[in-house]
Amino acid sequence: MGCTLSRTQDENGTEPHQLQVADIFVFVPGLRIPKRIGAAKFLEGRNSGTLSERLKMRTRILFLLIKFVFPKEKERRNFTDHGGPSLTELRLALEEYLSILQEFLREGFHLSDIAEFSWSNQEDEIKETTLRSAHYELLSVLHLLGMLFLIEANIALTPKPSADGSQSKIFEESKKAAIELLLKAAQVLECCLSSVLPQFPAELKAKLPVDLQEAVLRALQLQALGQGVEIQLGLAIDNVKATLAVKRRLACEGVKYWNQTQESMSKVRLGSDWGKKHALFVNWKCTEAKAAAYYYHGLILDEGLEENTRAEAVACLREADVLLKESQKNGLQFCAAPPMTRLPIVWGPMVHLSEKIPKDFSSKVRVNRDAYCRERTI
């Protein structure tokens, strides 16, 4: 399951299948789900009243998470809703439990002597990973917190009705809020990579589930940064004071992040449908970023006076046009892959580029062709 999935039953009411109904602006993998640890038997005979009270926060997180991810049929919603109090409560509970875990680790308290920690993933609820490691618990909590920031970014980017009742759109303040949330997600994932994973011995690291492996965490962090740059480029396009050089720099930065994301994901075997869909999403966004980079590089080359730069400009615009068409196909392929999703509205840089790239390319080709004909006539 992924960020916006609802669970339904087939006609016979037996095996559940997945139905995706929400628009995806920020891709969110399956959430990690904690299982009850049953620490009571480990706490017998210990002076552990305070510890027991603190560990109850984990039970509260489990309760809130079940309410959030698996609402009753009549309360079912998707994650493009405003989340309501459950999303905020869940994040605050996670942050409180996170501080408790960090305090235990700072004090040298060995939680692994008390309980085994079990977690599953929303994409594969049957398969659990149980480890007697407080760092595994910490890593799982941080991963869940990072995914909640991505969910909030997706909510922020969901179009909202205008005050005048016209077509829904994504407001500038929502885009800026989404950038902040994506940066927070990237920071949490960087903490996983630089501070928590190095604490794992090699034999324990080998037992980690796929979604907590270094390559996956790195891919998610780079994806968050890449989507933040994508939004920044869209804001720069809307800003009349932003130069072509600024737009090209942002576009090239986006290409760098998406290429690195693809490289990290290539190191992991993506067994589930949602994992394969994630790879298609990254491929789609990478192609869009390359189209933008070629386009702005072509416009800058076109400002040159030399004959060869104009030819290079046309070549760049041609490549941008090819990549734009390829990205549109990739977007459709992403949405058609199981679980099926709606194609979201054109937003961000693509609102401008989907019109300007083919228009400017055909214009430059026509101008060059006319100039060539004049030279031949002379």
Query: pLDDT: is 219 or 102 the higher one?
Result: 219
Cα–Cα dist 69/33, whole Å: 9
Average pLDDT over residues 367-375: 53
Cα–Cα dist 117/136, whole Å: 8
Start-to-end CA distance of the chain, whole Å, equals: 66
At residue 207, the 3 state secondary structure works out as coil
Lowest mean pLDDT among 10-24, 304-318, 341-355: 10-24
Cα–Cα dist 3/20, whole Å: 9
User: What is the band of 160 on the pLDDT scale with cuts at 50, 70, 90?
Assistant: confident
Q: Tokens standing for 335? A: 């949405």
Q: Are 124 and 74 in contact (CB under 8 A)?
A: no
Cα–Cα dist 320/292, whole Å: 7
Q: Is the pTM of this model over 0.75?
A: yes
Average pLDDT over residues 3-9: 38
- Provide the H-helix boundaries in the chain: 40-43, 49-69, 84-106, 134-157, 172-191, 202-205, 214-238, 244-265, 273-302, 307-336, 349-377
Cα–Cα dist 222/257, whole Å: 6
Q: Tokens standing for 251? A: 């576009």
Residue 345, class by beta-carbon neighbours within 10 Å (0-12 exposed, 13-18 middle, 19+ buried)?
Answer: middle
What's the confidence (pLDDT) of residue 86?
Answer: 73
Q: How many CA within 13 A on the CB side of residue 263?
A: 8
- 16-20 and 32-34 beta bridge pairing: unpaired
Residue 178, class by beta-carbon neighbours within 10 Å (0-12 exposed, 13-18 middle, 19+ buried)?
Answer: buried
Q: Tokens standing for 4? A: 């916006």
Task: Identify the residue whose tokens are 């702005």.
Answer: 296
Looking at every residue in the chain, the average pLDDT score rounds to 81
Average pLDDT over residues 135-155: 94
pLDDT above 70 for 288 = yes
pLDDT above 60 for 178 = yes
Cβ neighbour number for residue 81 with a 10 Å cutoff: 12
Average pLDDT over residues 241-247: 96
Average pLDDT over residues 245-255: 97
User: What is the band of 167 on the pLDDT scale with cuts at 50, 70, 90?
Assistant: low
Query: pLDDT: is 101 or 22 the higher one?
Result: 101
pLDDT above 70 for 185 = yes
Cα–Cα dist 378/369, whole Å: 14
